[in-house]
Each structure stands twice: as C-alpha cells, then as structure tokens.
Amino acid sequence: MAATEISTVILPLAPSGDFRNEPFVDFKLSANEHAMKDALERVGAMLGHEYDLVIGGERLRTKNKIRSLNPAKPAQVVGIHQEAGAEHAEQAMVAGLKAFETWQFVSWELRTSLLLRAAALIRDRKFEFCAWLVYEVGKNWSEADADVAETIDFLEFYAREALRLAHAEPPIQYPGERNRLLYVPLGVGAVIPPWNFPFAIMAGMTAAAIVCGNTVVLKPSTDAPTIASRFLDVLEEAGMPPGVVNLCQGGPAVGRALVDHPKTRFIAFTGSKAVGLEIHERAAKTQKGQIWIKRTVLELGGKDAIIVSADADMDAAVEGVVASAFGFNGQKCSACSRAIVEDPIYEAFLERIRERVAQIKVGDPVENVYMGPVVNETAMKRILNSIEIGKGEGRVIAGGKRVENADGGYYVEPTVVADVAPTARIAQEEIFGPVLSVIRVKDYQEALEVANDTEYGLTGSVYTADRRKLDHASRVFQVGNLYFNRKSTGAMVGAHPFGGFNMSGTDSKAGGPDYLLLFTQAKSVAEKLR
Ligand code: NAD
C-alpha cells in the first residue's frame, strides 16, 4: 500500500491530553457486574470459532490446527487456529518487508493515530476482551480487567512517547550547522509474547514496534492464540495497512524459523529464561545474506522475594505477600515466590499467612472466583512436581495438592512451604504457580543477602517501618522493579517501567520512557548552513 493510500485508511487522531492510566473496573457496582456477565454470555456463544493466519492482510488456513482450551473446562474449545510452518514464517517475512517499504515513511502522527484508535476500540469493548481472557487463560474478572487496562495503557503511552521521539533534537546545535537526530525504524521484527499477559504484553511489544515504523511478524503463545487474533481484528479496524502486523500462530518451530530468518532485524520476546536464552544464542548467529546484527529485547522469568522485617506492619505484609504470591495463581513473572522473614516475627507470620491462605477461594473464573485454574495440564503437572520437591525441602503449612473438580479444570491449591533453605530448589527455580516458600533469616542484612542470592532479578518488595532499611535496600536489592511496603505485582505503565536484571532479562523497561528506543536506531543528520 502506498504512503498516500495509508493516509486515507488511518484517520488522524491526536492524544487527548496527558497520559493517564486506564481506571480499573469496579465489579462491585451492579452495572459493571451485569456488563461483565453479559459479555461472558456473548463471548461464550462465540467459543470454538476457527481463526486464520493473517499474512499481508490475507487470511490463510493450514493443515495443522491449534486448539485453545478453557483451562477451567478443558473440554471447551475457545478457538481453533492455524498452525504456521516455516513456509508461513517466510511468507510473513516477505509481507513484512514489503509493508516496511512504505510504513517506515508514514508520519509519526499517523502511526500514532493507529495506536490511539486501537485503544479507543478496546476501551469500547472492554468487557468483551475481559471475557476472552477469562475463557482463554482463566483470569478472574479483576485480573482480566488489569490485563485489558494495561493494553490500553501501552497503546496510549507509546503513542505519546512516539510523538516525543518524533520531535527529538540533539543536545547541541553545532555553530554553522543545522543538526538533527532522527529516530528511524529497524525493519521487520519477530514479536514473541508469553501466554500470561496475553493481551497487554502481546499488544504492548507489537505497538511499540509498529509505532516506530517497523513491521512485525507476531507469533503468540499456543495457550493464548484467540486474544491475539482478536487484537489483529482491532488493528485492522483501526486502519492498519496490510503487512504491518502479520499473524503467525504456532509453537517453538515457527518461533525458531522467525528468530533464525536472515531478514529478521529484531526479536521482542517475553517468556521463560530457557527460551529467552535460546533466542539470544540463535539470534547471535549470523545467517547467510544477513547484513545486520540482530537486536534482541528479552524479558524473562523471576524468583521474586518479599522481605518482611521485624518492624513491619504485619497486616500489610500478610496482605501484600498473599496478593503477590497467589494473584492469578502465582502465574506472573513478578509473583512473590519467596517470603523472607526475620526471626523475631517468623512464627507469627506463618500463622497469619496460614489463616489468610485458608480464606482463598479456588474455582471457575467465569464466576469471578479469586483463584482459577493454572493454564494447562503440563503446567499443573510441573507445579505439582515442584510441590512434591518442596515437601522434601520444607514443611507444607497450606495447600499441597490439586483441587479435584467435575470439569477436569487444572486447579492447584494455594500452597505455602515453610522452613525452606535459601538454596533449596523451590527457593531457586521459577515455579510459575501458586507456591510460596517461606525462609527464616536472623536479621535484615541476611534477608537482603538471601533475596539477592538467585540468578534472577526481576521484582522485590520490602516491608519495614525503618527508613534507613528502605534506603539501604534501594542501593543493594538487585532487581529491576523494587517496591516498598506494597506488593511486588501490579506494575503500572508510566509509573513503574518494567524489566529485570540478570537472568530476568535485558531490563527493557516496558511502559517507560526508554522503551521505544529499543525499536529504533538514531540517525544524526548535519547540514552546513550557507
Ligand atoms: P515460554 O518461554 O514457554 O514461551 C514464550 C513464547 O515463546 C511463546 O510464544 C512460545 O510459543 C514461544 N517459544 C517457545 N519456544 C520457543 C523457541 N524455541 N523459539 C522461539 N519461540 C519459542 O513462556 P510462557 O510459558 O509463555 O510464559 C511464562 C514465562 O514468561 C515465565 O517464565 C514468566 O516469568 C515469563 N514472563 C516474563 C515477563 C517479564 O516481563 N519479565 C512477563 C511475563 C511473563
């Protein structure tokens, strides 16, 4: 599509004021509760539809299918998707390259308009998108709403950030010259998101890439393909020209084909450490015909700790640990999987945690139960295996098994293992499920040492009333996102730019002022004045 045609399909739209986080829905209000129930019913009637690959704006079907199942009722098919092979990765790359010829020269303002329109469409259908997340990955209503709100935030935030980059200037104008600094796009990127924030992370990485003028081959997780297909529809409705985002559903095989492709210019990945490191290695290998060094943006796992100091507000600490450990069943990279508690309050803390965890309800997220199923059978077995390991490494004081149910849903009890050694496997390896290890330490100094003693460095929290301890933690607690006297989950776009240290990733700081730079290269243009 020519640049002149593009200006007729994307209607200009300017940001309305400064960036503000999308407010969360209050489901206690009966109007919102009804709207959500209505959306669940409408989306319920749409389950099981078949969706196509989208390459260069064309719809494609393939031989092999991916069935997205409701983890609360695995017999219920949420969507049937086309599994892409290496040949589709090739076609998608060709389509992305073709679209890049014009998209890179489309004005920042028009590219920004695409994001703002998409945000408006999603806001209008917020309850519907929440319902898709409930069915596809088992989020409760508030968790689904947080994912949708973050999606809108990313679109609105990156739109404004793009306009800021568009008007960037070099720090100095050299005498006798006109100096400019232009942030130009990189090319075609592979965007590979995880399943756990299947809307926000998938849409956020995609939006950041395209608003800078890149084109994308999007390969969503096989556990959450439907929400990505729905996002593609939104982008098209918002006026996205063909080939700017190409949708290739599939697993590791098509992921590898995209990472290896000589024309892939960058890879934006969020997911596990193992896959991230594999991508890092493969992307570093120069392929025949490749004329650039591939850029990787890798956001990986965590083994996040909350330190509870002896002088902490116990009520707040218990609530914060429980919300961080068991919100969305611990399936967040930022989830607290280690509570590190000072000796004087250790026993009292255990007692309070045990009582609080006993109140947690587990059940079908369609009914808005706090804890739903984990995402699939493999995840459930992996988590139960970690719990078995934990039984040999500590004392299970809550949970410890699967929750049996008539629907065959993949429910695991919220599980707390006390008296865990800092070096135990369950204190070192990411479990990505509702399993909390509690570690006893003699004092604050030891707490910080234990907190830092993993290969990860994503999020962390400290509960203490002592300002000096907080100041000390801000210097030595080695994480990308550090929180004081609050939970370790729930990063807000703009306020908490998100990304981790060490094996938690390349610290890309999604939702922050530096993020778009990762999707551009800066060109300095100097003109001698006459
Ligand atoms: P995953 O690594 O299994 O999969 C992530 C994506 O990579 C999926 O789209 C998957 O299909 C694809 N993939 C798998 N193998 C591949 C390969 N060999 N080559 C290319 N692509 C491949 O992760 P997941 O289970 O979807 O997500 C959970 C993980 O993501 C956890 O480790 C969690 O901590 C992490 N996570 C990190 C952040 C963050 O911001 N740091 C945010 C969310 C999730």
Ligand 1 atom closest to residue 273's alpha carbon, by position in its atom list: 32
Q: Which atom of ligand 1 is nearest to the CA of 271?
A: 30
Active-site residue (options: 130, 212, 333, 336): 333
Residues 311 and 186 in one domain: no
In a domain, 1, yes or no: no
Interacting residues of 334 by C-beta distance below 8 A, sequence separation 6+:
302, 304, 324, 458, 459, 481, 488, 489, 490, 491, 498
Q: Given this model, what pLDDT does residue 345 score?
A: 98
**Among the atoms of ligand 1, which is closest to the Cα of residue 282?**
19
User: For residue 361, how far is the Cα from the chain centroid?
Assistant: 25
Same domain flag for 367 and 483? yes
21 and 136 in contact (C-beta within 8 Å)? no
Check whether residue 442 and residue 374 sit in a common domain: yes
Look at residue 10 and tell me if it is in a domain: no
**Nearest one of 47, 25, 46 to 34, comparing CA atoms:** 25
> Which residues 6+ apart lie within 8 Å of 118 measured at CB?
155, 203, 207, 234, 235, 238
Considering only CA atoms, which residue is closest to atom 26 of ligand 1? 194
Does 314 reside within a domain?
Answer: yes
- Going by alpha carbons, the residue nearest to atom 13 of ligand 1 is 252
Mutation to probe ligand 1, out of 227, 260, 300 (largest number of atoms < 8 A from CB):
300
Catalytic residue (choose from 161, 299, 413, 430): 299
Pocket test for ligand 1, best of 192, 261, 278, 410 (most atoms within 8 A of CB): 192
Given a contact cutoff of 8 angstroms between Cβ atoms, the answer to whether 24 and 55 are in contact is no
320 and 173 within one domain? no
Q: Looking at the structure, do residues 226 and 330 belong to the same domain, yes or no? A: no
Judge whether 199 lies within some domain.
yes
**Prediction pTM value:** 0.98
CA of 220 to the centre of ligand 1 (A): 10
CA 201 to ligand 1 center in whole angstroms: 11
Index of the ligand 1 atom closest to the CA of residue 223: 26
Distance 410 CA to ligand 1 centre (A): 20
In terms of domains, do 327 and 187 share one? no
Residue among 223, 273, 272 nearest 249 (CA): 223
For ligand 1, atom 18: residue with the closest CA: 252
Task: Kindly state whether residues 259 and 115 are assigned to the same domain.
Answer: yes
Which residues have CB under 6 Å of ligand 1? Answer: 192-197, 201, 219-222, 251-252, 255-256, 259, 270-272, 275, 278-279, 299-302, 333, 430, 432, 458, 498, 500, 504-505
147 and 197 Cβ atoms separated by less than 8 Å: yes
Q: What 3-state DSSP class applies to 397?
A: strand
- Atom of ligand 1 at shortest range from CA of 195: 26
Q: How far is the CA of 298 from the centre of ligand 1 (A)?
A: 10
Q: What is the pLDDT of residue 10?
A: 85
Examine the domain organization and report whether 101 and 219 are in the same domain: yes
The reply to whether 235 falls in a domain is yes
Question: Cβ(74)–Cβ(409) under 8 Å?
Answer: yes
Structural domain includes residue 17: no
Distance 273 CA to ligand 1 centre (A): 8
**Secondary-structure breakdown of the chain: helix, strand, coil percentages, each rounded to the nearest 5:** 40, 20, 35
| Centroid of ligand 1 to alpha carbon of 259 (angstroms) | 14
Calculate how far, in angstroms, residue 336's C-alpha sits from the geometric centre of ligand 1: 18
Per DSSP, the chain holds a count of helices (H) and strands (E) of: 16, 19
Domain count of the fold of the chain:
2
Q: Which two tokens stand for residue 5?
A: 């045609």
Instruction: Report d(CA 294, CA 283) in Å as an integer.
Output: 6
CB 60 within 8 A of CB 53: yes
Give the C-alpha separation, 331 to 74, whole Å: 18
Same domain, 105 and 187: yes
- SS3 at position 122: helix
Pairing of strands 177-185, 520-528: antiparallel
Q: pLDDT tens track of the chain, all 530 residues?
A: 776 777 778 888 999 999 999 999 999 999 999 999 999 999 999 999 999 999 999 999 999 999 999 999 999 999 999 999 999 999 999 999 999 999 999 999 999 999 999 999 999 999 999 999 999 999 999 999 999 999 999 999 999 999 999 999 999 999 999 999 999 999 999 999 999 999 999 999 999 999 999 999 999 999 999 999 999 999 999 999 999 999 999 999 999 999 999 999 999 999 999 999 999 999 999 999 999 999 999 999 999 999 999 999 999 999 999 999 999 999 999 999 999 999 999 999 999 999 999 999 999 999 999 999 999 999 999 999 999 999 999 999 999 999 999 999 999 999 999 999 999 999 999 999 999 999 999 999 999 999 999 999 999 999 999 999 999 999 999 999 999 999 999 999 999 999 999 999 999 999 999 999 999 999 999 999 99
Q: Are residues 311 and 376 in the same domain?
A: yes
Give residue 5's pLDDT. 79
> In terms of DSSP bridges, do strands 459-463 and 481-484 run parallel, antiparallel, or are they unpaired?
parallel
Q: Is 333 a catalytic residue?
A: yes
> CA-CA distance, 459 to 303, in Å (whole number)?
8
Ligand 1 atom at minimum distance from 256 CA? 19
Domain extent for 245: 28-300+508-527
Determine the distance separating the centroid of ligand 1 and the alpha carbon of 306, expressed in angstroms.
24
Residue to substitute in 83, 199, 221 for testing ligand 1 pocket (most ligand atoms within 8 angstroms of CB) = 221
Between the CA of 193 and the centroid of ligand 1 the distance, in Å, is 6
CATH of the domain at 383: 3.40.309.10
Report the distance separating Cα 201 and Cα 146, nearest Å.
12
In a domain, 22, yes or no: no
Q: Do the domain assignments include residue 14?
A: no
The two beta strands, 65-70 and 435-441, are: unpaired
Q: Which atom from ligand 1 is nearest to the alpha carbon of 375?
A: 25
Same domain, 265 and 317: no
- 144: domain CATH number is 3.40.605.10
Instruction: Give the residue, by CA position, lying nearest to ligand 1 atom 14.
Output: 252
Strands (E), 300-361: 304-308, 336-342
Say yes or no: 184 and 333 in one domain: no
